[in-house]
Amino acid sequence: ETGVTQTPRHLVMGMTNKKSLKCEQHLGHNAMYWYKQSAKKPLELMFVYSLEERVENNSVPSRFSPECPNSSHLFLHLHTLQPEDSALYLCASSPGQATYEQYFGPGTRLTVT
């Protein structure tokens, strides 16, 4: 398996649920990212990890909690979400944080009911 994979591809959850999104990259990259893509809005950077250390947290609410156990895996733990959190959540990776090309996974389509 190559590239960036994300599971699940679709997720429906209630506001009181706890769920996790998973991202895995098979490219040997050192930086990984979480983005949120809402309808009619630009891609929003949420978190950046470089060499497994979090280097960016763009004022994301605490109901989103990232975890990067190693350079190949990235998780986004979700709890007590709101309906406005419904969106496409994209994971990306790059060889290093300052390298110019990011490779995106297919995304998880999240619906909060």
Give the CA angle between residues 88, 8, 58 to the nearest 5°: 40
Q: How far is the CB of 111 from other proteins (least distance, A)?
A: 14
Q: For the window 30-69, what string marks contact with other proteins as x by the rule CB under 8 A?
A: ----------xxxxxx--x------xx-------------
Q: How far is the CB of 89 from other proteins (least distance, A)?
A: 12
Residue 80 near residue 63 (C-beta atoms within 8 A): yes
How many residues bind to other proteins according to rule CB under 8 A? 21
CA distance 86 to 48: 21
Instruction: Give the single-character DSSP code of 1.
Output: -
* Interface residue list for other proteins (CB under 8 A): 4, 40-45, 48, 55-56, 90, 97-98, 100-107
